[in-house]
Amino acid sequence: MRSSLPALFFGESDAVFQTDSRSFGEQIAKVAPGVNAYDPIGGASEFCSKSSTLQLPQLRLLAAAVTPTYIDRNQTQVATLMVPIAGEFNNSLDGRQHRCGVGWGSMFYPQGSGQFKGSGGSRNLAAFQFDPLMLEKTARAMLGLPGYAAIDLKLQNPRVTPLTVAGQPFGAVLQHLGLLIDLHQRNAQVLTQLGLQDMLYRYIAQMLQPGMFQAQAAHPRTAADSAILVAQLCEYMHAHLEAGLTLTDLEAFSGLSARSLQMAFKKQLGCSPMQWLTMQKLHKVHEKLLNADTTESVTSLAVVYFPNLGDFARYYRRQFGELPSQTRARRHR
């Protein structure tokens, strides 16, 4: 029965498997409280499900695959975007019907939205529970708006949203993100340092209000403005190498969109802002390895800047033509 369900977008190898709909409902209620009923459509013996969760600092991810079911749930306590990967489902929220699925779109449930009832055939879903204030902050940064600027992502309106982000199918995006999550064994700290939470907030903002992000400025107005901007950002990044800066942080600091930043850096330095930041971190570790005493290991020096030591070693060798351990060994010859 387990094999009849499609693979989850992350956590497939150690997913929680259920053959009892009541147990599954209780499990889901821990993530999304208020479940009144989660009943199988058809015989109870035909029910099965599997699920996996990941809790980031300000974002919870749920991957679930389930056979045909009916659900009755009270008020949604956390803003949630439900993304279908396979199958479809119908739901009634405050008396209004919504149809969601691969051929239709995702479903957004606002925080505090009322009781809903729904049903669907076999389906594979990804759900994202997010902080509305954090989403608005991210959207301001993406649009180059100051922190006090009003912004309307229509977070009070339940609705079906597109299944694309920046012109790409979100299902394909999820496949790549799922590989990243599994590669790091759902380590929330490492994944947050790698920017997964920031990336997902950016995707969610674009899915909820795609038109808002199509008219953002493409580049600084003059070459002089561009040069000054890049110099200021480089100084800022160099002073915060240990901070785990994200592209959203750079947007907030500069007041420009990601696209503007990418174009400005490409023109001035021939690389993206995040590529430049990675290069500075590599040089900082290289410098520390050349001056390290015998009690300091490569790991202790590198992990301050690179949560993924495998990536660090690969980047380091590409940049300096040797392994970090070889650099350190030369220091103590």
Tens-digit pLDDT profile for the chain (333 aa)? Answer: 555 789 999 999 999 999 998 888 888 888 877 778 888 998 888 899 999 999 999 999 999 999 999 988 888 889 999 999 999 999 888 778 888 998 889 999 999 888 888 899 899 999 999 999 999 999 998 887 888 888 999 999 999 998 988 778 888 889 899 999 999 999 999 999 888 999 999 999 999 988 887 655 444 455 666 777 788 888 888 888 888 888 888 887 777 778 888 888 988 899 999 999 999 999 999 988 888 777 788 888 888 898 888 889 899 999 989 988 888 877 655
CB-based contacts of 249-256 (< 8 A; 24+ apart in sequence): 249/141, 249/198, 251/141, 251/142, 251/144, 252/137, 252/140, 252/141, 252/147, 254/144, 254/229, 255/144, 255/145, 255/146, 256/144, 256/217, 256/220, 256/229
**Residue 212 gets which letter from DSSP?**
G
Dihedral pair phi/psi, residue 270, rounded to 5° = 75, 20
According to the model, what pLDDT value does residue 292 have?
78
According to the model, what pLDDT value does residue 215 have?
53
The structure tokens listed for 103 are 């051929």
Place of tokens 């389906």: 123
Residues whose CB falls within 8 Å of the CB of residue 2, separated by 6 or more in sequence, listed in order: 17, 48, 50
CA dist., res. 225 & res. 324, Å (int) = 38
According to the model, what pLDDT value does residue 14 have?
92
**HSE (side-chain half, CA atoms, 13 Å) at 106:** 25
Element (H, E) at 325: helix 324-331
Torsion sign over Cα 35, 39, 40, 46: positive
Q: Where are the alpha helices (DSSP H) in 209-254?
A: 223-239, 247-254
**Angle made by CA atoms 75, 47, 123, in degrees to the nearest 5:** 65
CA dist., res. 204 & res. 253, Å (int) = 21
Q: Which amino acid is residue 77, in one-letter code?
A: Q
**HSE (side-chain half, CA atoms, 13 Å) at 278:** 18
According to the model, what pLDDT value does residue 13 have?
93
Contact 170, 178 (CB under 8 A): no
Number of Cβ atoms within 10 Å of the Cβ of 49: 25
According to the model, what pLDDT value does residue 225 have?
65
Contact 255, 248 (CB under 8 A): no
Residue 183 vs residues 129, 177, 308: alpha-carbon distances, Å: 22, 10, 10
Residues in the chain: 333
Contact 118, 71 (CB under 8 A): yes
According to the model, what pLDDT value does residue 218 have?
45
Interior/surface letters 248-262, b for 16+ CB within 10 angstroms, e for the rest: bbbbbbbebbbbbbb
Residue 160 vs residues 91, 233, 325: alpha-carbon distances, Å: 11, 38, 52
285, 295, 292, 269: which is closest to 320 by C-alpha?
A: 285
